[in-house]
A and B are shown apart, each in its own frame.
Chain A
Amino acid sequence: MRMWLVMVVVMLWPAVGAAQDVGVTVDAMLSGVERTSTDEEWVALGDAAVGPLIARMNDASRSVVERGRATTALGNFRAAEVSVALRAVLADAASPALLIRKAIQSLAKVEGAAAVDAISPHLAHRTAIVREDAIKALGGLVIHPEARAALEKRRAAEPLEHLKRQIEVNLQPTVEAPQ
């Protein structure tokens, strides 16, 4: 019995150590006044970074900018739990504006057209800069009918002139829809 326990501990030890190391590196990569980590640096860290990044995105004791950086970094990963976590941020009415903006950007990157349903409600967000990011994200997906429909629906309701103009620009035909 004791022998088995020792073997289990020995077998698990490197994995535990590696997870701790990734967390330390993730924290270092999320810090910096002017420095931000590149997409390539996040990808190089591999899927082991996903868990620590989700934990930091959801950690309300951390600063919003740090959580936002974690949210942006998640846009580089395609693991299933990334979509789930980003959608949870977008569905939570209490999420800070910056976090929602970054989740919109990352979910559009991760899911493409499939993200339209989660992003569209934020076209009516109370904060103008959140609406702007939703417009930009859906504008990037405008060749898909769902994204176009969401922007068209919002066009008349948007109260700010500069955002209304941005919707118009994004609705202008630029590329043919896929056949």
Chain B
Amino acid sequence: MIQRFVAAAAVLTLFGCNILGGDAELFPGDSTLTKTSSTSIAISTADSKPYIVDVPSDASSFAVVLQGLGETLAQPAKITNPNGEVVWEVGVTPTNRADAYAQVQTTQVPITPDVAVVPGEWEFVFFGNGTANASAEAVFRLSAAGGELDVNLYFVGLELLDASSANAELQAALAEVKEILAPAGIRLGEVSHHDVDDAQFTVLTTNAVGSHELLQMLRKHTTHDNRAVNIFLVADIEDPTSSASLLGVSGSIPGSIIPNLARSGIAINMANFLAAQEAGDATPAVAELATVIAHEIGHHLGLYHTVEANGQALAGNLHGEDPIRDTVTCQDSADSNGDGILTAAECGDSNLMFWSPNNGARTLTAGQRHVIARSPLVR
């Protein structure tokens, strides 16, 4: 089997493209997640040469991970499935989504139930806003939808909370996260605890799409090399431009499947929880913490916001919201007070992935459940 793929890759590389199927376990001993060997891809402002992924018949999802992008923002220009259907073309296809990122970019199929994981040869063509000699690997999830999601918790220099003192309220928050994800058939599996003694990241500086110190921290401190979502608990997350606090942030959407990369994790602002704990009882902060952790896990497993604050204005009217059909569509006309911000009340949205958590939203649609249940991180 392995020899067949290697031979095919060798032959087709001669013809100017790469064809690859799963030929190794991403995590030794786990045969339900395989990966291809690494292939060089020259990224530029023009279309790259095709990168062809041979998706096995038993794959429930797959992802292509580009590494070594440096500061170049890269993404797929076009994705074509084995039936010759274009399932993604940048700026053209609103029914799918694959955003541009620097350093590490992950494209996941499916990111919407509309795109089926058809076995056979998929063609990916990439481009960027500059040049980079990237390497690409494809990862295949070879198990049915749903399963366990392991969690690595990293305590980043929190004065009142560390790995050994992870308290009852934090456990209560994780129990609520479990309840939120359960309708998707996802169970929280093993939860490991780790201390990170690095004052540089206790107050984390990053913007909403994952930048600056977030990427440094994820690369430097994601030490637990397993199939899990890495959750970094920090004292504050500050936007580098405004200094205002973010509640949480994901390395990317979706996050990197391959561990120890700049986008393989999420960060959670613990300021509300720590303030409540310092005041004597963290219980009032549990519900919001659970919602934020679940929201960021949602991003990491492939979900976008159902609606952005500025609605359709984002990204030239094409991607003001996610590509999933059964989530709420909220047009600019819903902005009843005309302040340019779409609130949960104006949109009538109570979804976990709404841009704002203020409505206590926790529901996930069938379409969203379809996507996260197939995330390669869920085993």
Contacts and interface: CB of A to CB of B under 8 A. Distances in A.
Nearest to B158: A129
Interface string A15-36: 0000001001101110111111
A65 B242 contact: no
B288 interface: yes
A68 interface: yes
A72 B242 contact: yes
Nearest to B249: A34
Nearest to A28: B341
Contacts of A31: 343, 356-358
A102 B245 CA distance: 9
Interface stretch (B63-71, B111-119, B271-279): B271-279
Nearest to A22: B339
Contact of B208 (A35, A64, A160): A35
Instruction: Determine the interface band of chain A, counting residues with CB < 8 A from chain B.
Output: 35 or more
B259 interface: no
Interface string A113-148: 000000000000001110010000000000000000
Interface stretch (B29-37, B73-81, B97-105, B233-241): B233-241
A98 B275 contact: yes
B245 A33 contact: no
B295 interface: yes
A57 interface: no
Q: Which of B202, B243, B285, B296 has the most CB of A within 10 A?
A: B243
Interface of B: 159, 199, 202-203, 208, 235-236, 239, 241-249, 269, 271-272, 274-275, 278-279, 285, 288, 292, 295-296, 309, 337, 339, 341, 343, 355-358
Interface of A: 21, 24-25, 27-29, 31-39, 63-65, 68-69, 72-73, 75, 96-98, 101-102, 105, 127-129, 132, 160, 162
Of all A-B residue pairs in the complex, the 6 with the closest CB atoms, nearest first, are: A36-B244, A34-B208, A31-B356, A96-B275, A28-B341, A64-B275
